[in-house]
């Protein structure tokens, strides 16, 4: 994997994680889309709009990545890295607490991501 693709992947991970964290931070506890009298109503807050924009940018990078690289590498790497970033950011920003099993799960994910990346190195 080239350094350019690694850079794109890292930006994708940050954008996706940022979108999730933005939705969480700005969340009201209610789903922002409702159906009333056969019409769709969307409550757009600033955080909802920012999250959508971040996801949109991430989607563009994701399509670029899957067009250039093997799906068997891109999907587990990006998914695993998003899990790890969101896990850490949730503890840092939202003061979420995790069990030992959840922490061990993150360690396993990091190990798996490392193994996938090492096996892709030629």
* Phi then psi dihedrals of residue 70, to 5 deg: -70, 135
Residue-wise pLDDT tens digits, 56-106: 999 999 999 999 998 888 988 899 899 999 999 999 998 999 999 999 999
Cα separation, 99 vs 27, in Å, equals: 24
Quote the number of domains for the chain: 1
Contact criterion met (CB below 8 Å) for 80 and 110? yes
Query: pLDDT > 90: what percent of the chain?
Result: 54
**pLDDT in the model for residue 23:** 87
Cα separation, 2 vs 22, in Å, equals: 30
Q: Domain range holding 74?
A: 3-120
pTM over 0.85: no
**Residue written as tokens 């159906």?**
35
């Amino acid at each position: 994997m080239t350094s350019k693709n690694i850079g794109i992947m890292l930006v994708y991970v940050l954008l996706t994680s940022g979108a999730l964290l933005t939705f969480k931070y700005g969340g009201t506890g209610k789903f922002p889309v409702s159906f009333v009298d056969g019409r769709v109503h969307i409550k757009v807050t600033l955080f909802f709009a920012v999250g959508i924009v971040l996801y949109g940018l991430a989607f563009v990078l994701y399509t670029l990545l899957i067009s250039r690289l093997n799906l068997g590498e891109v999907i587990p790497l990006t998914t695993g890295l998003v899990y790890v970033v969101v896990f850490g950011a949730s503890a840092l920003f939202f003061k979420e607490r995790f069990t030992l099993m959840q922490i061990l799960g993150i360690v396993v994910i990091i190990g798996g991501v490392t193994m996938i990346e090492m096996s892709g190195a030629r």
